[in-house]
Structure 1
């Protein structure tokens, strides 16, 4: 197989950046999901709401680009010209962020502490959303993974016996035994999401003949060209890259109404291309762990030794492991 597209999403749920190369880290591609937007309901005590494109479809009107260490956000309102677009530059490695106000973020029951980037950045998003918004920086405070992990059964929580607890406390042996994949940033359930062009093409066949599925709505990190039939990735358990890295695929991605969002208007889609979720529900509800959601794509984690390696568009990839049956998605509070 061949990598045809690589994507990073510096701010969760707004448009991503197509890149030619990306460095693998434990938490995902370098620069992926560093920030997220929070709606401030201006209550006492403070109530913050995680912003996702399903709930706030106009998030898709914010475009992103990366130049060196700066993220540029461009807001394009429906029907506007490029000259009318407004931009905001955000440092991808904010200085002295430890001194910023902290905010609590809880995603799917998995908590972390983030940092409020301040009024210079918040006012830009507040203006365009029409309500108070906080731009939160991850700050390298990882969230625990509560669901599918490499080598762990779908419904088995992480546990240690007495001997393992003692060994992991030792300064030399401990790091060798620790699970490197049990933390993520602002990703939903895993650091990586892999899809295939074959599966995207199948979705296009379900739409009117003059419409092709916009694969950016799947918000994948890695897009692969493969000779295998559509949805073969349901059974992939491991991918090997030409740079000797591996991605361990552990769970299926259950899809939501974000697939129906109209990226031109920033509204929930209607009509010919606004029923993608319904079209997939006919035959893609194949995971009993997400029995009400159609499955598209696989969640994954970088294998040991792969952190720091670089994936590039055009690189070859091999399926180095397969499951005899589909895995079952598990995440407390999300899975069925």
Structure 2
């Protein structure tokens, strides 16, 4: 039996994640997931790819807002889920431009001080609709400030197989999934096409290409060569190293640790198949 074993959200893009026992599913992924983002002076998103220090910011969901703690000095800031500031601005994520809502001058000043980079914190309001890539998803599918898709799924068996090939095992947080499941064979998520979980229809749309963020220790921001060095030996397809599958949902609902995952159909396209 396939079963959800872990659920994660990453409220602020590229900052620390939060492990949950249950989560609401919205039109753009799990509730609160990547609804905030730090931008530079050019309104482009900030990422651990260029700023590994961002790994040291840990997030927590409070009663009235989101709390962020900087692990080097344990200082923290809390701001409401819905910004009081109504000013908006176009923001850039890869090749996409969408609307971000400024959070507060206080938040901007705090992150600028801790990171040592001029930056501002923005929020994605419900009326800011960022479409996913129509080459892989249906029209009308949207996502948050994620790299491109609302959800990422990885099987625990896949990480276990990778770790069996490494000198030192790596934790799941290197890969920033939303849904982790137990059961099945390693990399069985590669070919998931249509799933149902707790009455929610979920569709696999694209294998996830991995980047240097996977080589950053999320507790110390130390960088290494793994897991990309090892993954390149057996998980390369063309110029990309693939691990996990990007998925989308149809309709709202709730996901819980322990929910059974029912496989309705599998992918047959070559891009999902490893020989």
What TM-score bracket applies, with the shorter chain setting the length? over 0.9
Mapping of residues 1-336 of structure 1, within 5 Å: 1-40=2-41, 47-77=42-72, 84-95=73-84, 97=85, 99-100=86-87, 102-140=88-126, 141-150=128-137, 179-181=139-141, 183-208=142-167, 211-226=168-183, 228-241=184-197, 243-267=198-222, 269-270=223-224, 274-286=225-237, 291-303=238-250, 306-307=251-252, 309-327=253-271
How far apart, CA to CA, are the structure 1 residues paired with 2:75 and 2:257?
30
Unaligned runs of 5+ in 2: none
Q: CA RMSD in A?
A: 1.6
Residue 240 of structure 1 and its aligned partner are, at CA, apart by: 1.0
State the TM-score, normalizing by the size of structure 2: 0.93
Matched length:
270
Provide the secondary structure at the position in 1 that maps to 2:158. Answer: helix
Structure in which a larger fraction of residues adopt strand: 2
How far off is 1:184 after superposition? 1.7
* Distance (Å, rounded) in 1 between the aligned partners of 2:100 and 2:158: 36
Kindly state the Cα deviation for residue 324 of structure 1 after the two structures are TM-superposed: 2.3
- On the 8 A contact 2:7/2:19 being kept in 1, the answer is yes
Note the C-alpha offset of 1:148: 4.1
Shift in CA distance, 38/311, structure 1 to aligned 2, threshold 3 Å: same
Residues 192 and 256 of structure 1, relative CA distance in 2, 3 Å threshold? same
In 1, the alpha carbon distance for the partners of 2:107 and 2:47 equals: 18
**Is the contact between residue 44 and residue 93 of structure 2 (CA under 8 Å) also seen in structure 1?**
no
Structure with larger Rg? 1
Query: Unaligned 5+ residue runs, structure 1?
Result: 41-46, 78-83, 153-178, 329-336
2: CA distance between counterparts of 1:187 and 1:23?
Answer: 17
Offset of residue 147 of structure 1: 4.2
- TM-score, length-scaled by structure 1: 0.76
CA deviation map 1:274-326 (0-9, x unaligned): 4211110111013xxxx2221111111112xx31x111011111111101244
Indicate conservation of the 8 Å contact 1:194/1:223, yes or no. Answer: yes
